[in-house]
Copies of this chain bind each other. A is one copy, B any other.
Amino acid sequence: MKRLGYRPNEMARGLKAGRSSAIGMVVPNLADPFTASVIKAVQEVARSHNYVVILTSSEGDPTIEKAEIESLTRRQMDGLIVAPADGESKTFKAVVASGIPLVAVDQPIEGASIDCVVVDNRKASHDAVRHLIGHGYRGILAVGARPDLYTCAERVQGYEEAMREAKLRSNTMLVQHERELTPEAIESRLRDGKRPEAIIALNYVTSMLVLRGLRQVGISIGKDVAFVSFDDFELADMLSTSVTAVRQPSAEIGRQAAELLFQRLAKAGKARRQKVVLSTTFHVRESCGCSSGLSGN
């Protein structure tokens, strides 16, 4: 009988059952390759549970983020995975109060007991900087954007710790918004006298901007200045001087976040807050000074 094309209405079914079999996801930027990979993994896990994922973007704006979360709540999401636009917990209080399971990725949410999956930002940054110091560089510039964001702040801290341990003076270029990272701005920071010997860029977007900026003003990675990127990227190994990079296990982040969420869905509201910290990997290529012309020992 039903073989002649009957499609149960999942909305009605969900209404009855009190669940939507959908999880909501809110990210700052859909197009960022790191984020895309997290999304992909979340989607895969969701599918294996016969769940669907509703994807929304906060554009990095807490106001939009709040609206999106609100909208997802109305739509009766069974759970939420959020890469927070900022560290404020206000937005999430309502969610947590409503009892909808929520897991944060990339950045933990302070002031509320919320599960999260993050990486060891500080250690990764610390290690990368120590690697540069090991090459003998003393002037090391850390370039980042939105320093108030958790990830940036942590990475700066890792940098500063490593510098302090080596008795070196920290030197940071932290802009409020990526768009301030123009070639001119970068160049002015590298003027002769005070040119650093090495640069660490603190995330993907920053790395791209620094790479472009340096190129545009005629400063060569590897030759004129060493370089390390926090966040690996597709062609890092294909640049004329291949780029040494810290890689986040993006798919694993997504997978674990989703698994965590489904655990909560299974045994609702049990267990204490879970904080999963994943390790990054450090991909040594040429730009840090290894096996290239620039061996700053």
A36 CB contact (under 8 Å) in B36, B53, B212: B36
| A233 located at the interface, meaning its Cβ lies under 8 Å from any Cβ of chain B in the complex | yes
Q: In whole angstroms, how far apart are the Cα atoms of A254 and B271 in the complex? A: 42
A191 at the A/B interface (Cβ < 8 Å)?
no
Contact B30 A33, beta carbon cutoff 8 Å: no
Instruction: Determine whether A146 belongs to the interface, using a CB cutoff of 8 Å to chain B.
Output: no
Copies of this chain in its oligomeric complex: 2
Determine the interface band of chain A, counting residues with CB < 8 A from chain B: 35 or more
Find out whether the CB atom of B11 lies under 8 angstroms from the CB atom of A30. Answer: no
In-complex Cβ contact of A238 among B10, B22, B52, B239 (8 A): B239
Cβ B31 vs Cβ A43 within 8 A? no
Which residue in B12, B14, B55, B73 is a CB contact (below 8 Å) of A55? B55
23 A-B pairs whose Cβ atoms sit less than 8 Å apart in the complex: A7-B70, A8-B74, A10-B75, A11-B14, A15-B15, A22-B75, A30-B36, A30-B40, A30-B43, A31-B36, A36-B36, A52-B54, A52-B71, A53-B54, A54-B55, A211-B238, A212-B238, A233-B235, A234-B234, A235-B239, A238-B239, A239-B239, A240-B240
